Amino acid sequence: MSRFSAPIAEQIWDMKYRLKEADGTPIDLSVEDSWRRIARALAVVEDDPKTWEERFYSALEDFKFLPAGRITAGAGTGRNVTLFNCFVMGTIPDSMGGIFEMLREAALTMQQGGGIGYDFSTIRPRGADVLGVSADASGPLSFMDVWDAMCRTIMSAGSRRGAMMATMRCDHPDIEDFIAAKQDPARLRMFNMSVLVTDDFMAAVKADEPWELTFGDKVYHTIQARDLWNRIMRATYDYAEPGVIFIDRINAMNNLNYCETIAATNPCGEQPLPPYGACLLGSVNLARLVSDPFGEAAQLDETALEDLVTVAIRMMDNTVDASRFPLEAQAREAEAKRRIGLGVTGLADALLMVGLRYGSDEAAKQTERWLHLIARASYRASVALAREKGAFPLFDAEKFLASGAMQGMDEDVRAEIAEHGIRNALLTSIAPTGTISLYAGNVSSGIEPVFAYAYTRKVLQKDGSRTEEEVVDYAVQMWREKKGDAPLPDYFVNAQTLPPLDHVKMQAAAQKWVDSSISKTINVPEDISFEDFKDVYFEAYETGCKGCTTYRPNDVTGSVLSVSEEKKDKDKAPEVIAFPDTEPQTPHGDVVYMAEPLDRPKALEGMTYKLKWPDSEHAIYLTVNDVIVGGRRTPFEVFINSKNMEHFAWTVALTRMISAVFRRGGDVSFVVEELKAVFDPRGGAWMEGKYIPSILAAIGSVIERHMISIGFIEGEGMGLKTDPQSQVVGLDSAPRGPACPSCGQFGMHMVEGCMTCPSCGHSKCG
């Protein structure tokens, strides 16, 4: 009997977490083998490893505790990879040599699979004097471009590209350029970007006061604080970036504010870290801890939760000792503070199972209760470890207990810390769980609402065919098992329909008991007014959040929401589809009968298009010639040319194959479908505000544009068999996003601060 509750869960395990030989031969023959591998690796540092191996295995069993992907994929493999997810690199010196030394360190860290954060506020602004060379500084943005190019060439562990966060203080002279940088759809795509907003700045915004932009002791510009705030808001309203980090609050609430200053976070924002700071992550799966789901006695088993947290803390503390580190400075930092980040996943599902609507006052209250329980259990478990193994080396009881976060901790826990110390400086964080939530049976991700209750995905089979499978949210599956075909209750809401301020309410409720931070995306509708949009950020600040990330559909990052133009037959049941993909609806094995080729006239009319692929030195020129058939202009042949000799063979082959198809007439629009469905596993590119998954897909888009111009098809995607209009169960709106660079399917959406694919789990943030 498989432990997997959904086919996608087993596929994610096989693709991302299953240990295999270099040739692909499985070493982990079952998911139980993976759990055993992880449990054994994390128990080896114990005095009684066999006993703790069994307890660790029990916590992992049935997906109750979910170590982050780095641990699940790397623990016990013997591979030279880090088990830590999050790094903030060293402070960037304001010198050419220091800057490029930091670049080298970043490359080494990403090579082992770590996501990194950098504060670029330490680099002098554009136009500032560079002493000794009679030149003006190029500014931090120019060096961010260098980092971006480096990141494109580094493939992280597990075939993931590196992920980076760039921050800049709100008083840096180049802050306006930083805010506007990603309005160019081809620039800095490897970065998430956030502005470090101070309390003084927020006060100046409220009072509409002047704001000085400074570097060193020099004031470069003075602007109105409210004008700068509006620039930040307008950029994220239109382009989904930059995010906002309330940096003074982060430092004030940091348990370690007596020995470190934070100026950056990891790529998704849940880990504010000092220079060379590192943190590992894990999540307890609340959806697996609800007894009698949807029943009269439905409740989360709080005793089981406390027990699970206690074991999870020990596992994560052991991971500090079991992990390798890209840099010695990162190892020293981790060992001195033993920072860990235990969070949750499946929160929204758990709330549904006990009959609560995500975003309601009752759900926020319940969330706060559960997170408080987790915080208490985490801190008490760490105190017990300190009694057994010693406190973290930089522990200072008086200073630790005087920090902002610890002042709100329960008095009995504070007393235990004062007496015995604590093993880990920080313990809680809510991280992105997109992939591990799929692996755990498609539970809701982190503390996010359910994105879609059910959708279909196409799965590539070994024989090249595609099969369709339904992917159902874990809570919905539980509902079906218990209630059959009964309609979902009204309290089933999702990310598309949830009011933005309800998102903020849930984030604020959780933040009260999270000592680090939270990866959370507040989805807002495209038609939200600018003033209402700004209110979301003010509400986040006023209610104690440490940062705010929103996502509003836009032309650069793609649209999450789309409304089907086709009227549904009222007599039919709603389709259980959420994410469209680019594959044909008919299997590849279907027989297609070709007509005899048309005769070629001596002269044809056509158009030539120039296609410049961002990573290619030479442009591709694509000519499409047409013929008149039955009074209708129809594509007849193509010619694809490039000076790049590396392209010669495939462009000739593509020219001949497409022309052979076109010359047989009929509905040849499927050529566009097939080309646009091709994805490059190395990643695609942004062109004219859209993500194109491969150079072949770009050629398909050019041919599609030509077909539209001659009236062969009506518009982009129109008339194509696989331009599906998707439908979320019971809703009139449907999520549709850019194509995934890993699997090619449409549906990428912003979740927990990162563009994520629901079909394969690919995440921009690693």
Q: Name the residues annotated as catalytic.
A: 266, 268, 270
Helix orientation angle between 31-43 and 302-322, rounded to the nearest 10 degrees:
70
Helix orientation angle between 96-111 and 140-153, rounded to the nearest 10 degrees:
30
112-130 core/surface letters (b: 16 or more CB in 10 A; e: else):
bbbbbbbbbbbbbbbebee
Contact 748, 756 (CB under 8 A): yes
End-to-end CA distance of the chain: 31
For residue 341, give both structure tokens.
């980040």
The span from the CA of 453 to the CA of 579, in Å, is 11
Q: How, if at all, do strands 690-692 and 685-687 pair?
A: antiparallel
H or E element that contains 285 = strand 278-285
**Phi, psi of 613, deg, nearest 5:** -80, 130
For 359, other C-beta atoms within 10 Å of its C-beta total: 23
Contact 71, 417 (CB under 8 A): no
For residue 658, give both structure tokens.
């497409």
What is the maximal distance between C-alpha atoms in the chain? Answer: 94
Cα–Cα distance list, 211 to 220, 235, 322, 540 (Å): 11, 19, 47, 22
The span from the CA of 68 to the CA of 434, in Å, is 10
The span from the CA of 467 to the CA of 472, in Å, is 16
The span from the CA of 204 to the CA of 375, in Å, is 35
Q: How, if at all, do strands 454-460 and 685-687 pair?
A: unpaired
On the CB side of 547, how many CA atoms lie within 13 Å of its CA? 35
For 53, other C-beta atoms within 10 Å of its C-beta total: 19
The span from the CA of 528 to the CA of 98, in Å, is 44
Q: Which residues pair with 550 in a beta bridge?
A: 522
Angle at 267 between CA 263 and CA 271, to 5 degrees: 55
For 764, other C-beta atoms within 10 Å of its C-beta total: 22
The residues, any chain, with a CB within 8 Å of residue 310's CB and separated by 6 or more, are 377, 380, 381, 384
